[in-house]
């Protein structure tokens, strides 16, 4: 019984853990077009991607955190958005 509860807890924690994806070497104008000037559109971008988004201006990169089940869809959507802005 304890092993079953322990296993279910482990699975639950793994499902709730966020996965990180970094999109490096993006141009600053491209990043600005995605997140908005002064990052004013970052909330709507996060809602579209079902993920948390951060910008690393020093590395010209977007960092995306999402649940493992959502990370691939978020990466595809972000890649499509980047292609649309180029």
Q: Residue 80 falls within a domain, yes or no?
A: yes
Overall number of domains in the chain: 1
Q: Residue 23 falls within a domain, yes or no?
A: yes
Q: Residue 11 falls within a domain, yes or no?
A: no
Q: Residue 13 falls within a domain, yes or no?
A: no
Identify the pLDDT of residue 7.
47
* Count of residues in the chain: 86
Q: Residue 40 falls within a domain, yes or no?
A: yes
Identify the pLDDT of residue 51.
93
CATH number at residue 81: 3.30.1370.10
Helix (H, G, I), strand (E, B) or coil at 60: coil
Q: Residue 5 falls within a domain, yes or no?
A: no
Domain residue limits at 80: 18-85
Tens of pLDDT along the chain (86 residues) come to: 444 455 454 554 555 688 899 999 999 999 999 999 888 999 999 999 999 999 999 999 999 999 988 999 999 999 999 888 76
Q: Residue 72 falls within a domain, yes or no?
A: yes
Identify the pLDDT of residue 2.
45
Q: Residue 77 falls within a domain, yes or no?
A: yes
Whole-number Cα distances in Å, 10 to 15, 28, 61, 81, 84: 9, 40, 32, 35, 40
């Amino acid at each position: 019984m304890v092993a079953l509860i322990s296993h279910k807890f482990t699975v639950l924690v793994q499902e709730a853990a966020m996965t990180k994806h970094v999109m490096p070497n993006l141009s600053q104008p491209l990043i600005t077009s995605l997140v908005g000037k002064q990052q004013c559109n970052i909330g709507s971008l996060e809602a579209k991607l079902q993920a948390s988004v951060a910008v690393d201006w020093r590395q010209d990169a977007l960092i995306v955190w999402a649940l493992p089940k959502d990370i691939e869809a978020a990466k595809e959507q972000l890649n499509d958005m980047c292609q649309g802005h180029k």
